[in-house]
Amino acid sequence: MLWVKAFHLIFMVTWFAGLFYLPRLFVYHAEMAATDQQGHARFLVMERRLLAITHIGGVLTLGFGLWLLLGWRAALIQVGWFQAKLALVALLVGYHLWCARLVGDFRSARNRHSSRWYRVFNEGPALLLIAIVLLAVLKPY
């Protein structure tokens, strides 16, 4: 099961890398979208490709996590810190889906947010990462 845990962590890093960088692309895209059509098209391609890689990382993280839960630590589902971690992972999935919607909004020229809003939005995965790792390592309750 240590191999499964290792792959869970590897794909978690991949997932978070995408969730850290995709909103940063949104910041730059929102800043220049009205002034540079060629740049706008380039950002659309970058966002679509990064989202695809982020989907892969997310699905594999969740898959290996489920494998761990079912095969090795099924008793964890009763533990408070693990339930909190699962709730935060659910928030992270929601954030991921929100990013996918924002990619679609840029593609359809329906972006309604400023670059400043995206700068704040970009902090979400960092806060979730800190909380999830602290729960998993410290197991506070």
For 105-134, how does the pLDDT look when each residue is reduced to its tens digit (9 = 90+)? 999 999 999 999 999 999 999 999 999 999
What pLDDT was estimated at residue 36?
Answer: 83
Which letter does DSSP use for residue 74 in this model?
A: G
The pLDDT value given to residue 35: 79
Examine the pLDDT at 34 and tell me if it is beyond 90. no
Q: Is the dihedral of CA 107, 110, 114, 117 positive or negative?
A: negative
pLDDT confidence of residue 73: 64
Contact 50, 19 (CB under 8 A): no
Structure tokens that stand for 3 in this block: 């191999």
Alpha carbon distance 33, 41 (integer Å) = 9
Looking at residue 71, its pLDDT comes to 80
Residue 140's pLDDT is 92
Burial level of 38, CB count in 10 A (0-12/13-18/19+)?
A: exposed
Q: What is the pLDDT of residue 78?
A: 81
> In sequence order, what are the residues at sequence separation of 6 or more whose Cβ sits closer than 8 angstroms to the Cβ of residue 16?
57, 125, 129
Question: Does the pLDDT at position 102 exceed 90?
Answer: yes
The CA–CA distances, whole Å, from 62 to 21, 35, 66, 84 equal 20, 39, 6, 16
Return d(Cα 38, Cα 40) in angstroms, integer.
5
Q: Domain of 9?
A: 2-138
Q: What is the pLDDT of residues 41-77, one digit of tens each?
A: 999 999 999 999 999 999 999 999 999 988 866 677 7
Domains of the chain: total: 1
- Please tell me which residue, 75 or 98, carries the higher pLDDT value: 98
Q: Compute the distance between CA of residue 29 and CA of residue 110 in angstroms, rounded to an integer.
A: 13
Q: Average pLDDT, stretch 7-21?
A: 98
